[in-house]
Structure 1
Amino acid sequence: MILSSKGMNMDFAEIGAKIGVYFIPFLFALCFHEYAHGWVARRRGDNTAEMMGRLSMNPLVHMDMIGTLILPLVSIVLATPIFFGWAKPVPVNTRNLKNPRIDMFWIALAGPLSNILLAIVGSVLIAVVAKYFLGMTYANGMIEILKTFIVTNLFLAFFNILPLHPLDGGKVLARFLPAQWNYKLEQHEHITSMVLMILVLTGMLRILSVPVIWSYNHLVTLALGGFGI
């Protein structure tokens, strides 16, 4: 197949636009998620993440070559129906925690909560753009990026709170389980990881779109209403 230089430029421009709209918000959300884990861990007495240079918003320190770059970028470029990825988990040394069982609960919960916070911030920014910048050439583009940002963060929040190891939800659930039960679950983490991957690849996790869309609609409606738009 022969492509003209004009056609190639359009293709590259389209790919660049998709990366800007989908990948950049995704990357920021992942970094903030991991930063939140490290920040709460430090507040709870463990500064391992800080000592290893992981208490940072620098994408390079959280980047996993496959989960953060290859899979998401391939999904965007090829427009696959499954968009999936991850970052390197922030290290936590439970020996530095005063009450590991309770502290790990809050450290794990910090990740999904951080994404909910970003979704709220994104909805407020949409309201600000709609009220003060609508009509400007870049306003619609900004709103589309912010919409993607909100949905991305909500998906990350609801996905990570699933009560399966190695997700944050598994560690949150551990707070309410007998220690021996949680130990067995952690010992079989490789099995639950496989189950999780099957759920992703088969599209069964599309059920998460129900709470995501519900939350998205309510966040944007509340934000716009709060600004009287």
Structure 2
Amino acid sequence: MDNLNSINSFLAFPLEMIPYVVITLMIAFTIHEYAHAYVAYKFGDPTAQRQGRLTLSPLAHLDPFGTLLIFIAGFGWARPVPVNRSYFKRPRLAGVLVSVAGPLSNLVIAFLGTAIWYILLATNAVTALPEFYVNGLQDFFNIFVSLNVMLFIFNLLPFPPLDGYRIIEDLAPANIRAKMTQYESYGIIIFLILVITPLDGYIIQPIFAVGRTAVMELFHFLLGPIL
């Protein structure tokens, strides 16, 4: 029992939730990176497709260390999709849409997860199941929705190398963009300080809390008529 408690204290999630987290990350990271690759390909960039990243296979997208960090620190990453903006006819517009596609995909599947759970409740599809299975389903959908909402918010933070930073970079005037590129390495250091030090609890976590509340209220508003 002491060993189990030690493992639980080392992880960002309870041990019994790890299977749900694994399934969620395989779906969330894969669809996120596929969305980047797909939109880039549609705008004329074949780079990701040539490197085998235009696929829904998790093996093509999961980063071992970034995935492991989710379990330990509560945040992580997949393998970034390579994008060559020189293929784009309208680089700034295409760049923004490619960057937005990843976080937006997480928002969409979080909404779908919420909708499926609402439908299961509304149709009483879970009432005939034993309580153990009902609780398991509820835990899974809670993890699935929460992690995807977190990834949506996290990736929109305006720090390199996140999608939010890339969006700002593409929207910025050329002279500002050049300065952003010049100081990007410092931005990465600042970002790491914010997420791995106690500052996380004062800056990043409040952003997550406010963002998650806003997203879930939107979901409930859109899906309320189902119940």
TM surpasses 0.5: yes
CA–CA separation in structure 2 for the residues paired with 1:102 and 1:125: 33
Structure 2, unaligned runs of 5 or more? 9-13
Q: Deviations over 1:104-140 (max 9, x none)?
A: 0100011111111111101101112212322212233
CA contact (8 A) 1:72 1:84 kept: yes
Show the counterpart of 1:166.
Answer: 161
Show the counterpart of 2:32.
Answer: 33
Residues 1:127 and 2:118 are matched in the alignment: yes
Show the counterpart of 2:70.
Answer: 72
CA–CA separation in structure 2 for the residues paired with 1:176 and 1:25: 32
Show the counterpart of 2:109.
Answer: 118
Q: Deviations over 1:81-102 (max 9, x none)?
A: x401101100111121111111
Show the counterpart of 2:79.
Answer: 88
Structure 1, unaligned runs of 5 or more? 76-81
Matched residue SS, 1:175: helix
Distance 1:24 1:187, change over 3 A: farther
Show the counterpart of 1:213.
Answer: 213
Distance 1:50 1:163, change over 3 A: same
CA–CA separation in structure 2 for the residues paired with 1:140 and 1:146: 10
Aligned Cα root-mean-square deviation (Å):
2.2
CA–CA separation in structure 2 for the residues paired with 1:226 and 1:29: 27
CA contact (8 A) 2:110 2:148 kept: yes
Q: Normalising by structure 2, what TM-score?
A: 0.84
| 1:1-229 equivalence runs, <5 A | 15=15, 17-68=16-67, 70-73=68-71, 75=72, 82-132=73-123, 133-135=125-127, 136-137=129-130, 138-201=133-196, 202=198, 203=200, 204-207=203-206, 208-220=208-220, 222-223=222-223, 225-227=224-226, 229=227
After superposing on structure 2, the runs of 4+ consecutive aligned residues of structure 1 that deviate more than 6 Å are none
Moved more, 32-41 or 193-202: 193-202
CA–CA separation in structure 1 for the residues paired with 2:193 and 2:120: 40
CA contact (8 A) 2:66 2:78 kept: yes
Code of the aligned partner of 1:167: L
CA contact (8 A) 2:169 2:180 kept: no
Structure 1 residue 18: Cα displacement: 1.9
CA–CA separation in structure 2 for the residues paired with 1:184 and 1:54: 31
